[in-house]
Amino acid sequence: MASPSLAGPSSSNGIHKIQGSAPGVLDPTQPGRLLRHPGSRLAFASFDPTIAHPGASNAAQNTNHGVENYRPKRIVVETSPQGASFWRFVPRARREDGVPDEGVWPRVVEVAGARAEFTEDQWDIYKLDPHYQCLVRAYPRIPIITPVTPSPNDAPPTNRTNPTDTLPGKRRPPSPLAGSDADVPPPSAPKKRRGRSPGVLTSSEDEDEDMPYTYTSEKGPQRSKSQLRDLHEQNRRARRERTLRTQAKRERPLEQDQDESMFSPTHEEPGPGPRFQSMPPAPSSASKRRKGGGLARSNQPIIEEEEEEESDARQPSTRAFKRTRTASPTSIKKTLESKRATREREKQAKWSKIMAGRKKDRDAQLMHGILEEVPTPGSSQAGPSPSTISSSTTPPADPLEADEQITDAERARRAALEESIRKLQELEQDKPLWDEAAKKRQMRETAEEDELRAKAERRRQAAAAQDAHDRREKFEGEERAAAARAEAERFERAAAAARARGERSQRQRWETGPWTTARALERYRAMCAAFDSTKYAENEPLAFEDVPWPVLHAPGTFGVEDVDWAAVELFFAAVRPFVRGDEYKGFVEKSHRRFHPDRWRSRRILAGVVDEAEREELELAANVTAQALTPLWRDIK
């Protein structure tokens, strides 16, 4: 909602700018006509039924209302000094034929013979003022605001602040903010009543926009129960008066027709029209009429209870709560199908006409080409010469000479026609040759197309055969690779089993009998040969028992913590008497290279060990052995 503003006119480029939402910027008497209280303030906003309503979009799509019903409408809110708020719809301005809407604001408006740039709020203020008439003219003319010429039949305005001026049985005329018939422009065309859908406000009647809606602002003061009762009673009274005003407008034409029929002896008694046949009668209640007795207008007579009962009994209610279906869905579907078939027939006829015209043009071009070479008399091509014109104005001197000229012209024309006929006959004679040539050309093209199709088919078959051959070779290669892998796995399993058996037999061999230094040397040499030739991997990890540790301990009686510097030196010192001098040097060098850390990393000996702690222990023992062998290897160099 636009916040109320008290800004006045401003000028720029010689055009006054009228802005703000306060009335009386140009006419100081406007606040007295528009405001109920001197200290009230006006604010303007756009009413849109689809705002803050979850089902409004679906309802707007499922209804058959026009686009006009869903355009946001302008509303005006009057806030009294006590905080109470009242609102109503802003009436539409009059528009010339062909003008779709009131345009985009701000824009230049002509008011009282001068031009000024109006905002939409100021334009709405002049639409609310019953003393002015707003008209939106067609482009390039600008909108205009003109004073309303007072009619001599208009009743003098009553004082709104004096409640004693209101006669008993009559309602007090509403204020300009509450709405009046003077500020609502007459509709350009009769509107049909339509059913209301949830969440969508229909604009079938202009009176709906004139009804004042009252609500209590949250910022206003608290009201007592008696004030709220009076407020609700005022709203109910306004609704009843609006209903009576609408019914009185609709019943006046019917009463005039009945008055005319009373003076016509042959006129039949009028019955309910078609618009009333499909509408259910509204329930009538005498008690409700007693409570809501009032007038639609201040210059209309009071409707008594007896007259209302007779009117309700004579005429059905014109308020429809649901639109009656006028045609069945099947008939609508048939109508649409018939229209579609008609459009198809018209389209086919139009296309046939176009094709016939093209054929006619081709024939005309052919005949024109044939007749191009036909000789024509010189007079018909070059036109009449000056001598011919001069001779035609005077009668021929000799009739025989004129007959001879006519005969020559006729003879030339006949010769031209005979030449054309001869050419046509020659064309007819050559037609079999043309047909034969066309037939041969078609056969040749057909043979070429067949040859192309055959070549394409052969290429397709060759590609399919090559594809099948490739797939077969790939399958056979995969089978051979799978067989080779299976054979290698079988061989590895057999070798691993053989090694396991050999190791097991060796362990059994070394674990039995007395343990001596000679047996320790023999076991070390045997295990070194197996350790150097074995490729350790994930499927065959290294174990502590597989390493030929150079110690004198018996198999199965020592662990990783027993492999230290002293044990290694003691082993080589003990076995030196059992090895010849030249062999001892090579024996120590091979042992040093065997336990070197670089050798273990290059062989990836520890890659198959899954346990991290076990791998670290084996690596530490190998490093200790290599460090212990380094001084021995240096001593024998």
The full DSSP string for 303-329 is --HHHHHHHHHHS-----SSPPP-S-H
Q: How confident is the model at residue 626 (pLDDT cuts 50, 70, 90)?
A: very high
| 89 burial via Cβ count (<10 Å: 0-12, 13-18, 19+) | buried
pLDDT of res. 428: 82
pLDDT digits (tens, 9 = 90+) for 322-365: 667 777 888 888 899 999 999 999 999 999 999 999 988 888 88
Phi, then psi, of 378 in degrees rounded to 5: -65, -30
How many Å from the N-terminal Cα to the C-terminal Cα in the chain? 104
State mean pLDDT over 303-309.
Answer: 41
Does the pLDDT value for residue 317 go beyond 70? no
Confidence of residue 134 (pLDDT cuts 50, 70, 90): very high
pLDDT at 162: 42
- Alpha-carbon span 319 to 247, nearest angstrom: 9
> What phi, psi does 110 have (nearest 5°)?
-95, 120
- Phi, psi angle pair for 408, to nearest 5°: -65, -40
Q: Is the pLDDT reported for residue 6 higher than 80? A: no
Greatest mean pLDDT range, 312-316, 555-559, 619-623: 619-623
For 457-495, what is each residue's pLDDT tens digit? 999 999 999 999 999 999 999 999 999 999 988 888 887
Q: What is the per-residue pLDDT for 414? A: 86
pLDDT of residue 405: 54
Average of pLDDT values for 444-455? 93
- Give the pLDDT of residue 593: 92
Q: pLDDT at residue 4 above 70? A: no
Using the CB atoms, write b or e for 493-521: b if 16+ within 10 Å.
Answer: eeeeeeeeeebeeeeeebeeeebeeebbb
Amino acid identity, residue 393?
A: T
Rounded mean pLDDT of 284-300?
41
Position 9 confidence tier, pLDDT thresholds 50, 70, 90: low
Q: Worst-scoring range by mean pLDDT, 171-175, 227-231, 239-243, 303-307?
A: 303-307
pLDDT at residue 347, as a whole number = 94
pLDDT by residue (tens digit) across 576-593?
999 887 888 899 999 999
Name the pLDDT band for 74 (thresholds 50, 70, 90).
very high
Least confident of 152-166, 221-235, 369-383, 509-523: 152-166
Q: Which of 44-48, 103-107, 290-294, 456-460 has the lowest mean pLDDT?
A: 290-294
Q: How confident is residue 285, by pLDDT bands cut at 50, 70 and 90?
A: very low
The alpha carbon torsion through 122, 123, 128, 132 (nearest 10 deg) reads 110
Check pLDDT > 50 for residue 32: yes
Local structure of residue 223 (DSSP, 8 states) = P
Helix (H) or strand (E) holding 10: strand 10-12
Element (H, E) at 88: strand 85-89
Can you say whether the dihedral through the CA atoms of 182, 187, 193, 196 is positive or negative? Answer: negative
- Name the band, by pLDDT with cuts 50, 70 and 90, for residue 546: confident
CA distance 30 to 131: 9
pLDDT per residue over 123-133, tens digit each? 999 999 999 99
- 158 vs 170: CA distance, rounded Å: 13
Q: 0.85 exceeded by the pTM?
A: no
d(CA 393, CA 408): 21
Distance (Å) of CA 34 to CA 26, 28, 109, 130, 244 = 14, 11, 21, 9, 25
More confident residue, 363 or 207: 363
Cβ(305)–Cβ(178) under 8 Å? no
Higher local confidence (pLDDT), 234 or 314: 234
- Higher-confidence residue of 336 and 177: namely 336
Residue 630: predicted pLDDT = 92
Model confidence at 248, in pLDDT bands (50, 70, 90)?
confident
The 10s digit of each residue's pLDDT in 44-73 is 998 887 777 665 555 455 444 444 445 678
- The amino acid present at 347, given as its one-letter code, is K
Separation CA 584–CA 66 (nearest Å): 113
Rounded to the nearest integer, the mean pLDDT of the chain is 74
Give residue-wise pLDDT tens across range 180-192: 333 434 444 444 4
The b-or-e profile of 95-123 (16+ CB within 10 A means b, else e) is beeebeebeeebeebbbeeeebbbbbbbb
- Give the list of residues 6+ apart from residue 287 with CB closer than 8 angstroms, or none: none
Higher pLDDT, 179 or 366: 366
Q: How confident is the model at residue 313 (pLDDT cuts 50, 70, 90)?
A: very low
If pLDDT is split at 50, 70 and 90, which confidence band does 139 have?
confident
User: If we measure between CA atoms, which residue out of 479, 554, 550 comes closest to residue 516?
Assistant: 554
pLDDT tens-digit series, residues 38-52: 889 999 998 887 777
DSSP state of 160: T
Nearby residues of 89 by Cβ (< 8 Å), 6 or more positions away: 47, 73, 74, 75, 76, 179, 208, 209, 210
The yes-or-no verdict on residue 415 having pLDDT over 80 is yes
Torsion of CA 48, 53, 59, 65, to 10 degrees: -10
Quote the pLDDT of residue 91: 94
What's the CA gap between 512 and 496, in Å, rounded?
24
Q: Beta strand 94-95 with 132-136: parallel, antiparallel or unpaired?
A: parallel
**Do β-strands 41-47 and 73-79 pair in parallel, antiparallel, or remain unpaired?**
antiparallel
Judge whether 75 and 118 are in contact, CB under 8 Å.
no
Burial class of residue 487 (count of CB atoms within 10 Å of its CB; 0-12, 13-18, 19+): exposed
Q: What is the pLDDT of residues 80-91, one digit of tens each?
A: 999 899 999 999
What pLDDT is stored for residue 375 in this prediction?
57
